[in-house]
Structure 1
Amino acid sequence: MVDRLAPTVMRTALVIRKSGLWDLALIVVAFLLYYLVRGVVVERAGEATSRAIRLVELEKSLGLFWEGQMQAWVMSSEIAVRVFNGIYVWAHFPLVAAIGLWLFFLHRRQFIVFRNAFLISGGIGLILFNLFPTAPPRLLFWGYGLIDTVAAYSPVNYDMQPAAFVNQYAAMPSLHFGWNLLLGIAIICSSRNVLLRAFAVVMPIAMGLAVVVTANHFILDVVAGTAVALFGLWAAVMLDRHGGRVWNLVVPPSLRRAQV
């Protein structure tokens, strides 16, 4: 009976694969799992705070502890604060969804590559969040002079998210920035429109500033987020180039001909 069912299951998989439903469903399910797993973290506030303080000391030794000066510059204008708060909140998942749908319907090859880049970098992020929880600057209260601008100035705040989806100690690496960088690269790889390409360059720069001046990430979090995102993209490109070999090993020749 198994021998009879196997070809049927394989043909069904091929139909789903060709229709594109698999490509879209995979990323939706993956994001839900990402946030569920990301939120399931044992309370390790002391460890996360200690690691954040060590991160501050490392930045000071490297001459990179600019978070206080950057936030002070923005705090001189309430409009600037609200603009960066808006970028932090609305240029994350709303933008991921919008650009993801644009790629899915108009640039399917790029969609698959960047979907895989998101999945790989997200998986790495989950491992690091759980192995090395790190508090964001907004949760440090010992003389650093940094405030949570999103909570202080914006009607949209962290309490609006279900508790199961929130991990207060997932600052390192900053996938808030890393994924925004991937979106920018995806636009540049998919469009020749000058305005879209300009947006693709400005957008990650704005997000990089936003995550720091809102006190949600340290500068080194952004550096780590960049590394994780670019590694995810490299791995996704390698998978795109060589993944067909694995597919050909798994799928029988008769069924491979059926999908042509």
Structure 2
Amino acid sequence: MAQPNLGKPQPSSHTWVEPIVVIGIMIASCYINRQRRKPADRGQGLFNRPNLDLEDEPNGSNIYDEQELLFFSVAESSWPTSHGRKSRLCCGFKLDTVNTSQFATHWHSRVLEKFPFLVEMFYWALNFSCYAAAKAVGETFFANGDVWQMAEKHGIAVLWFEQDGPFKFLFPFREVDVQHFFMSEHQGMLTLLNRTYSLVHIPATVGFLGWYYYSAPTHSHFAAVRRMMTLTNILSFVIFTFWPCMPPRLLPKEYGFFDTVRREDAQSVWASGKFFNQLAAFPSLHFGYAFCVGATLIFHSGVFRRQPGPRGKQWSRVRQGVFVFLGVLYPAFVLTIIVATANHYWLDALAAAVVVALAWKCNRVLLGFLPLEDLFLWCIRLKKPFPTTGSRL
């Protein structure tokens, strides 16, 4: 049987180009989001209060209301004006935690004050650590069983649910038919999907975080989105650990799928090595990230906003339409990529959307870890920098 046309793989240079692109985006994000105010000007205004932690801002629907900004100016009086202890709310209880403002003159505090986006890079390093830990826990949990066989059964069960289950009307097109459509009639498009598969995951997500850190009207907007993506990761890691699922490309050949991405040097440098989990198809983090980005773009457009944005500004209909279009197009494009390349099922994307919605609803649960963060900062003698998000407004 002749090998079908799977499209062209990525060039060999991709293995070193992609890390350079990611590092370049991080450096650019740190520079663009740097603190531009002079030291004498810091400590003035809402976003530079000496003891105000903007991570605690509420993320309700009235976040654009000027009364809310006034609330933070008044609420400042409840914070210590010296280097006393801070008050935190954790699980409904009020806790007194250490105040690290006395370390503001330390050299690493000054570096972070100048480049506060470095904090976000640290948070995502923690995310990667959670991913690696989840993979290790999963391997330990199924050490006495055949995890590969179990993941294959789960993948086949997903196909049955889509094609023969009670909700099969939600999945009118089979994944194998979508892939064969591109292989037989649109090889050029399949080449684009192959080469874009890895680029839309890490580089595009990092680029989005850098852009939204700069563009969000307040840091609470950005922090809420970041917590949503972090909680999406955590929930997904739990599912990966206890319900491994084989992607379509790894199923037996009789199911008709082909691995169009991982040929020669086609895979992402981040999707290889001992920390990469090949049995983490359900839910799809590719689509989960894309859904987070798309939902944020639509929210950022302001089409569902009853009140004008900060300072009473209202975007034009054309600009709003562009953001809504991109907010719909990007997740749809990523969905096409992951299905056409046989890396995910339709159900993986649907599950990812549900996980993202749950993560958004519960994202403030991560604020319960702020006391631990305070303790960690105290141990390394570091003062958390104030974000530059929103200062341009």
The TM-score bracket by the shorter chain reads 0.7 to 0.9
> How has the CA–CA distance of structure 1 residues 59 and 158 changed in structure 2, closer, same or farther, with 3 Å as cutoff?
same
8 Å CA contact 1:37–1:126 kept in 2: the answer is no
> Quick one: which of 227, 232, 254 aligns to 1:121?
232
Runs (5+) with no aligned partner, structure 2: 1-82, 87-97, 140-145, 302-314, 375-385, 387-393
CA displacement at 1:57 relative to structure 2: 1.5
User: Deviation at 1:198?
Assistant: 1.7
Distance 2:182 2:102 in 1: 52
* Equivalent residue number for residue 339 of structure 2: 212
**Any idea what SS the aligned residue of 1:120 has?**
helix
Rounded Cα–Cα distance in structure 2 between residues aligned with 1:24 and 1:201:
26
Change (3 A) 1:190 1:37: same
Displacement of 1:28 in angstroms is 2.2
TM-score after normalising by structure 1: 0.80
Report the CA distance shift for 1:36/1:12 in structure 2 as closer, same or farther (over 3 A): farther
Q: Which amino acid aligns with 2:338?
A: V
| 1:1-260 superposed matches below 5 A | 7=85, 9-12=98-101, 20=116, 24-40=120-136, 41-42=138-139, 44-62=147-165, 63=168, 64=171, 66-75=174-183, 76-107=185-216, 108-152=219-263, 155-157=265-267, 161-191=271-301, 192=315, 193=319, 194-236=321-363
Q: Residue 283 of structure 2 aligns to which amino acid in structure 1?
A: P
CA contact (8 A) 1:24 1:104 kept: no
Radius of gyration: which is bigger? 2
- C-alpha separation in 1, matches of 2:260 and 2:274: 23
Measure how far apart 1:26 and its partner are.
4.7
**1:165 deviation in Å?**
2.2
CA contact (8 A) 1:149 1:214 kept: yes
Say whether the 8 Å CA contact 1:175–1:229 is kept in structure 2: no
What is the TM-score when the length of structure 2 is the normalising length? 0.54
Report the AA paired with residue 198 of structure 1. Answer: F
Q: Deviations over 1:163-201 (max 9, x none)?
A: 232101000011210111101111222245343332221
Distance in 2, matches of 1:12 and 1:49, equals 53
**Who is 2:24 aligned against?**
none
In structure 1, stretches of 5+ residues that fail to align are: 251-258
| Identical positions, percent | 23
User: How many angstroms does 1:156 deviate by?
Assistant: 2.7
How far is the alpha carbon of 1:86 from its aligned partner?
A: 3.1
Report the CA distance between 1:21 and its aligned residue.
5.4
Q: Is the 8 A contact 1:85 1:149 kept in 2?
A: yes
| Contact 1:110/1:186 (8 A) holds in 2 | no
Closer, same or farther: CA 21–160 of 1 in aligned 2, 3 Å:
closer
Aligned partners of 2:279, 2:226: CA distance in 1, in Å?
25
Partner Cα separation in structure 1 for residue 117 and residue 270 of structure 2 = 30
Greater mean deviation of Cα atoms: 137-146 or 183-192: 183-192
Q: Report what 1:253 is aligned to.
A: none
Aligned-residue offset at 1:89: 1.5
| Root mean square deviation, CA, Å | 3.1
State the shift of 1:7 in Å: 4.2
Label 1:184 to 1:13 Cα distance change in 2 as closer, same or farther (>3 A).
farther
Asked if the contact 2:194–2:260 (Cα under 8 Å) also holds between the matched residues in 1, the reply is yes
Supply the AA of the counterpart residue of 1:222.
A
Whether the 8 Å contact between 1:74 and 1:213 is mirrored in structure 2 is: yes
- SS for the counterpart of 1:223 is helix
Paired AA for residue 241 in structure 2: N
Number of equivalent positions: 239
Q: Distance in 2 between matches of 1:33 and 1:81?
A: 33
- Between Structure 1 and Structure 2, which shows a larger proportion of helix residues? 1
Partner Cα separation in structure 2 for residue 201 and residue 168 of structure 1: 28
CA-to-aligned-CA distance 1:35-62 (integer Å, 9 cap, x gap): 3224424171111111111221221213
